[in-house]
Amino acid sequence: MGIRTPYGVLALKNFTPITVDYLVVAGGGGGGSYYYSGSGGGGGVRSTVTATGGGGTLETPLSLLRYTNYLVSVGAGGVAGTFDGMTGENGINSVFANIVSIGGGGGRTGQNGLLARTGGSGAGGSASGTSGSGAGGAGTTNQGYAGGTASGNGSSFASGGGGGAGGVGGNASGSTGGAGGSGVAISITGSSVTYGGGAGGQSYGGTRGAAGSGGGGQGAVDGTNTQATAGTANTGGGGGGGSHTSTSVGGAGGSGVVILRYADTLTITIGSGLTGTESSASGGYKRATITAGTGNVSWS
């Protein structure tokens, strides 16, 4: 049976809603450059499978229609500070249909103020020899957590860890940077993968904070030529912040990802402008993993 139109008969199944699970991870924040910079927060995480960001309850799968375009946009990681006193940028939001995950907060430096940037997860606080220790930036409800507080007492300086989708960034202590906040482990692909980790804080002559699980980077260590590291691509991990020397630049945030799960009787069309693949059927599902770009998807 079907519905007769001027173009022929359309099967009733074409008008029956389909159910799509999703994981939408935004880009992680970039770390600041030089002068006791804060580390980037992880990108916001929204998921209908296993767990979601910020300690929230699982999101509700979307009810969609076949042969209808739905927007997907994968957020890039935040640009790192690359010269003296340059703040790291927030990560870029990721989108699927009406679902938006917020990019991680970019790390500020002690030179441009101690108010850490908010984001999906907040940036770690930065330190200053004249202004003291900055608090971490706030995260977004049900997407991620706040960054940790910096330390600074006139001779020892370290930055707070960036917040993660699964936990707050650690506070710095003396010349030891705060640990990056943990990400969230999600099994939408059939295997557990952790997303949205915050970056560990930088240190002035001490020990940098550990990277948050889920792709977080680490901050620099002054006086040892240990540079900041970037967040991991397609995890939304935050990038580490630079330390005191003028050559100590930040690490970029890791890009986000959008993963969609749907019945194995369906086939997705991934439109131009997007980079992605569809998996073989497994356990009653197919999965589409979209790693870059902006464009439309549809199902048949």
Q: How far is CA 259 from CA 72, 132, 189, 190, 247, in A?
A: 10, 42, 8, 11, 38
Take residue 149 and report the two structure tokens written for it.
Answer: 């507080």
Q: How many residues does the chain have?
A: 300
| Of 119, 81, 78, residue with least CA distance to 243 | 81
Spatial CB neighbours of 33, under 8 Å, sequence gap ≥ 6: 80, 81, 82, 83, 84, 85, 86, 87, 88, 109, 241, 242, 248, 249, 250
Spatial CB neighbours of 135, under 8 Å, sequence gap ≥ 6: 114, 116, 125, 149, 150, 160
The one-digit pLDDT tens for each residue of the chain (300 residues) are: 455 544 444 555 667 899 999 999 999 999 988 878 899 999 999 999 999 999 999 999 999 999 999 999 999 999 998 877 788 999 999 999 999 999 999 998 876 556 789 999 999 998 876 556 789 999 999 999 999 999 877 667 899 999 999 999 999 998 899 999 999 999 999 999 999 999 999 998 899 999 999 999 999 998 777 899 999 999 999 999 988 877 788 999 999 999 999 999 999 999 999 999 999 999 999 999 999 999 999 999
CA distance 213 to 27: 15
pLDDT of residue 244: 80
pLDDT of residue 237: 98
Q: Name the residue ranges covered by the structural domains of the chain.
A: 18-270
Per-residue model confidence as pLDDT tens digits over 177-226: 999 999 999 999 999 999 999 999 999 889 999 999 999 999 999 877 78
Contact 47, 23 (CB under 8 A): yes
